[in-house]
Amino acid sequence: MLEEDRARKIQNFAHWATIFAVAGSLFAFAYGAWASVAAARSQARASAVGILQDYFKLAIEHQDLANRPDEQPVDDRYEWFASHAYFTAETIFTLTDEDEWRNTVRGIIRLHHPYVRDGRFACEDFNPRFVEFVRSELPVFKCAGDSASILAR
């Protein structure tokens, strides 16, 4: 009887040990997945900051293009600068999903809206989700090659 009681206690201990080992493994897996996602988000934010800094450097080097009057027609030099700005905005849009980054993207898009207004924006060269975001942000939207402006709102 004593031997059976002892064997039952050992068996119960083994069952509980298995349950705790599985629970610990699940916790470790969940923590590892969370840490991996957090690290990926941090890396995306760091990349977005670097891309934005590069855009600002370019804006400082080409202040005449960065701060143009809206009524001025889009020429080839400004198209080059604005396309770089929109590429920056698209990259940040793709890397991040947070509201504060959306405001940054929105600011770049609105600052260089003549690029879209004058039909120089090559929609097919950009992510469709980004193109829809641009369309929702600007009062006049025209892709390169479109024959007429589209009122976005």
pTM (two decimals): 0.75
- Residue 148 confidence (pLDDT): 52
- Per-residue pLDDT tens digits for 63-74: 999 989 988 989
Q: How confident is the model at residue 150 (pLDDT cuts 50, 70, 90)?
A: low
Domain range for 77: 2-151
Neighbouring C-alpha atoms within 13 Å toward the C-beta of 75: 6
pLDDT (mean) for 84-98: 93
- Which residues are paired to 90 by β-bridges? none
**What's the number of domains the chain is made of?**
1
User: Which has more confidence, 39 or 131?
Assistant: 131
| pLDDT, tens digit (0-9, with 9 covering 90-100), for 113-132 | 999 999 999 999 999 999 99
Judge whether 43 and 75 are in contact, CB under 8 Å: no
